[in-house]
Amino acid sequence: MTDVFIAADNILSPLGYTTAENYSQLKKNVSGVKLHNNTAMSEMPFYAALFEHNNWYVKDEHIKFTKFEQLLAASIANALQNCSVDTRDKYTLLIISSTKGNISLLETEAKSTELKERIALHTSAGIIARHFHFVNKPVVISNACISGLLGILTGMRLIRSGQYKNVVVAGADVVSRFILSGFQSFQAISSQQCKPFDKERDGINLGEGAGTIVLSSDTMYARSIKVMGGGTSNDANHISGPSRSGAELYQVIKNTLKEANLSPTDIDLISAHGTATIYNDEMEAKAISLAGMQSVPVNSLKGYFGHTLGAAGLIESIVTIQSMRENTALPTKGFQNHGVSEPINICINLQQAELTNCLKTASGFGGCNGTVLFSKTSTN
């Protein structure tokens, strides 16, 4: 089977504009989540990781980019600088992942047919594809909070099938009144910095940002990290609450390990979804336990980035990949006291550790779960 390597990546978040800048902040335990008094978004103060400066401003010669598109363009541009993938090649594809894309335009623009087209995710994807001269029609994924992770999986599958040699997977989401009010109406926003897997956890912090991973079958990237496998499953239980048993996330973890020919104890780190809601974290702990991975170190990065929705699977996968390059496991910011029913091994401190195989998981509304497994190549 064709190997799929990580050729380059980028994280664009309030913590920094490159993967290295972000990772250096994470190692210093700096969080992008802050208290905001922004009445345009919420009458009440709220904690979130928001951009305060727009230094990543990118222009297109044909069209005025929205903030969502600027984030994508800036992130993709940086990732492409760090590899030699040719966007004009017929074997190169662009995948865009997002949950809500340009939805904030509803807040500033009058409803019209033009607005309907401008909000459509395929419009943004077309604009980004043209900006970077991709020749193939981009693929757009909008599958709730697993969108970014599913982008990586889709890219991996399309390369393995032989249809493409390179896939640029980019995801972004922007925090807006639309999104914040919705999670507030769900009572899902934490009144403090979020506390994944903690006894006192009371909900999420939202975050905005973009992430890009360039996948390639080119062996020039073989001294790198490989995507070993992954999959998705559905809880078939509830549209807005996770499985009570964790069986469906476990099912896809089990299949992913089988696909990669690894056993549970071969995994050196799990980067969990860890949103800091009562039910998500409990479900994940159950799934990890069912998989026999209670001793495997687990972290959640939501305390640093907030929940970046459609970008989360990408941003958090890239952090995990950078952890493998630097052999450091990051702590779970906000976690103090074990607050899930299963005795899983939550990372508390920054640790030096040889990280060879790492699993990223994500779950979202609609009952969806996803996994992706990264390994160092033997030539690494």
Partner 1 sequence: MVIEKYIAASCVISRNVILKNGKNIFENKHADLHDFLLSVYQHFNIVYPKFYKMDNLSKLGWLAAEILLQEFRKDDYRPEETGVILSNANASLDTDLKYFETIKDMPSPSLFVYTLPNIVTGEICIRNNFKGENAFFVSDHFDAAFIEQYAGNLLDLNILNVCICGWVDVYEETYKAVLFLVKKEKEDILFTKENMDRIYKTAVT
Give the interface with partner 1 as residue ranges (CB under 8 A). 99-101, 103, 106-107, 111, 116, 119-123, 125-126, 137, 139-144, 150, 154, 157-158, 161, 163, 177-178, 181-186, 231-240, 248, 251, 255, 364-368
Q: Which is nearer to partner 1, 144 or 293 (CB)?
A: 144
* Residue closer to partner 1 (CB basis): 243 or 356: 243
> Least distance to partner 1 from the beta carbon of 232, Å?
5
Residue among 32 and 242 whose Cβ is closer to partner 1: 242
User: DSSP letter string over 91-130?
Assistant: TEEEEEE-SSTTGGGGGTS---HHHHHHH-HHHHHHHHHH
**CB 140, CB 99: distance < 8 Å:** no
The values of phi and psi at residue 49, to 5°, are -100, 100
What token pair was written down for 63? 């069209």
CB count in 10 Å sphere of residue 350: 14
Complex with partner 1: residue 83 or 252, whichever CB lies closer: 252
Least Å distance, CB 214 to partner 1, is 20
**What's the per-residue H, E or C state across 237-304?**
CCCCCCCCCCHHHHHHHHHHHHHCCCCHHHCCEEECCCCCCHHHHHHHHHHHHHCCCCCCEEECCHHH
Closest distance between partner 1 and the C-beta of residue 119, in Å? 6
Nearer to partner 1, 45 or 343 (CB): 45
Q: Using CA atoms, how far apart are residues 188 and 346, in angstroms rounded to an integer?
A: 22
Our CB check for partner 1 shows the closer of 88 and 116 to be 116
The minimum distance between CB 129 and partner 1, in angstroms, equals: 12
Comparing CB distances to partner 1, the nearer of 247 and 350 is: 247
The dihedrals phi and psi of 165, each to the nearest 5 degrees, come to -105, -30
- For the chain, the straight-line distance linking the first and the last C-alpha, in angstroms and rounded, comes to 19
Give the bridge partners for 351, in sequence order: 329
The answer to whether residues 319 and 22 touch, using CB atoms and an 8 Å cutoff, is yes
**Structural contact between residues 232 and 252, judged by C-beta atoms closer than 8 angstroms:** yes
| 184 vs 201: CA distance, rounded Å | 16
For the bound state, the minimum distance from the C-beta of residue 175 to partner 1, rounded and expressed in Å, comes to 14
Residue 149 CB, shortest distance to partner 1, in Å, is: 11
Q: Least distance to partner 1 from the beta carbon of 245, Å?
A: 12
Instruction: Pick between residue 84 and residue 237 the one whose CB is nearest to partner 1.
Output: 237
Q: Which residues pair with 357 in a beta bridge?
A: 375
Least separation, in Å, of the C-beta of 230 and partner 1?
11
